[in-house]
């Protein structure tokens, strides 16, 4: 079994990425990261993903994956974007982030005015070796109210394109099949073959 570290302290992301990776490479075990948290001071998803992956690879000596992702709302010029986790402040409060975003676009009644997408950039860093980044986009729109119990973050208000359910109403398997992370990971598959 090949072990790689996912540069996050978020157990939800570890479980989600393990499920996605297992569908492609069942011989890879994704473990969580227990080291120091790097400062995510990049202005792009790629910059932040690389910072996290480099830190985890250096700290553990393992091949490291890092995801930096966020919700990009068209009418807000792509915000919250890289600031998604902190949209309502540094507490990283999912409920506060969702409430603030819904309030900011509350006057937009038409679904076509509420378009958005999730972006995920996954960085793969080998200790002392190669670095790669791949991107996945999951288009959709913002619901008028939070719905669903699955997922985390903005999942209760994100309605994927072609569906009427929020991503928090999808089963974990449905989400893992079509999410921004699964799209990015599919782009990473050729590089996983080298591990």
Please identify which residue in the block is written with the tokens 């807000």. Answer: 76
CATH code for position 148: 3.90.950.10
Residues of the domain holding 120: 2-192
Confidence band, pLDDT 50/70/90 cuts, at residue 108: very high
Q: Which residues are part of a known binding site for substrate? A: 8-13, 69, 152-155, 175, 180-181
DSSP letter assigned to residue 111: G
Q: Which residues are part of a known binding site? A: 8-13, 68-69, 152-155, 175, 180-181
pTM (predicted TM-score): 0.89
Segment holding 53, helix H or strand E: helix 45-60
41 belongs to the catalytic site: no
Q: Which region among 12-16, 98-102, 104-108, 143-147 has the lowest average model confidence (pLDDT)?
A: 12-16
pLDDT value at residue 23: 79
Most confident range (mean pLDDT) of 101-105, 147-151, 174-178 is: 101-105
**Domain total for the chain?**
1
Mean pLDDT, to the nearest integer, of 32-37?
90
Q: Which of 34, 41, 68, 163 is catalytic?
A: 68
Contact 46, 134 (CB under 8 A): no
pLDDT value at residue 20: 80
Most confident range (mean pLDDT) of 93-97, 128-132, 188-192 is: 93-97
pLDDT tens across 120-143, in order? 999 999 988 899 999 999 999 999
């Amino acid at each position: 079994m090949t072990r790689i570290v996912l540069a996050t302290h978020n157990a939800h992301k570890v479980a989600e990425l393990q499920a996605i990776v297992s569908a492609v490479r069942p011989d890879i075990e994704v473990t969580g990261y227990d080291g120091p948290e790097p400062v995510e001071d990049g202005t792009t998803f790629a910059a932040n993903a690389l910072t996290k992956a480099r830190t985890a690879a250096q700290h553990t000596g393992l091949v490291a994956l890092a995801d930096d992702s966020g919700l990009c709302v068209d009418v807000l010029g792509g915000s919250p974007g890289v600031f998604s986790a902190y949209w309502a402040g540094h507490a990283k409060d999912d409920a506060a982030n969702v409430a603030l975003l819904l309030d900011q676009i509350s006057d937009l009644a038409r679904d076509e005015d509420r378009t958005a997408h999730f972006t995920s950039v996954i960085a793969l860093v080998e200790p002392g070796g190669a670095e790669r980044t791949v991107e996945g986009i999951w288009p959709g729109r913002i619901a008028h109210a939070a719905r669903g119990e699955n997922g985390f973050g903005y999942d209760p208000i994100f309605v994927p394109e072609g569906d009427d359910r929020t991503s928090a109403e999808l089963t974990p398997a449905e989400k893992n099949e079509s999410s921004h992370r699964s799209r990015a990971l599919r782009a990473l598959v050729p590089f996983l073959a080298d591990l």
